[in-house]
Structure 1
Amino acid sequence: MRSCPLLSLLFLTGCSHMAHDEWHGQDKAQHFLASAMLSAAGNEFAQHQGVSQDRSATFGVMFSLTLGASKELWDSRPAGSGWSWKDFAWDVAGATTGYTVWQLAQN
């Protein structure tokens, strides 16, 4: 499984600066929408490069989640707002929604 190294990295980072945020808010909508658009754009980009539909789907979702995780790592620095698993959960929801919408548009 290719996502295991990324997931291992996320769980082993030991972020000491965690956010104390809510599940809802404007920033959660921004995480969701940005992840959905990045996932769909990554899918489309990969397909235009001649990649199979399955691999382009994987590329799009992983592209989106990698950027979401990178943003959370940036937030976890001492001057940041803290790592937020809630933000990342909205990133995952957005990435899967973007993938689904992109798949539906292909049919």
Structure 2
Amino acid sequence: MYYNHHPFPCLHCHPHSYIRMVHHLIERCLLLHMTRDQCIKALAEHASIRPVVTLTVWRELLKENRDFFQAYFHSISPRPFISGRIQKGPRFGRRKHY
């Protein structure tokens, strides 16, 4: 006999297990250096988790771990290319008169 058994806990039947699962999946997204929006989209597409649930768990994690998230956001933020080796020529050169 075949039973339709889902590997994921149900939000309504087992809310604590469901929230822990979402928490774990968010941590996996963080290991992949995803932004909040990328994480929300990935969990919606691949785990069928409603964005409002992911966002709510994300916000709670942010409140509990403010220092971690500040360092995390700093580490994944795009940085402009800075190098002291590149020398630009003069911006306005002399015109050559022929």
TM-score band by shorter chain is 0.3 to 0.5
User: Please, what TM-score do these two structures have when normalized by structure 2?
Assistant: 0.37
Structure with max Cα Rg: 2
Query: Whose RCO is larger (CA < 8 A, sep 6+)?
Result: 1
Name the structure where helix makes up a greater proportion of residues: 1
User: Please, what TM-score do these two structures have when normalized by structure 1?
Assistant: 0.35
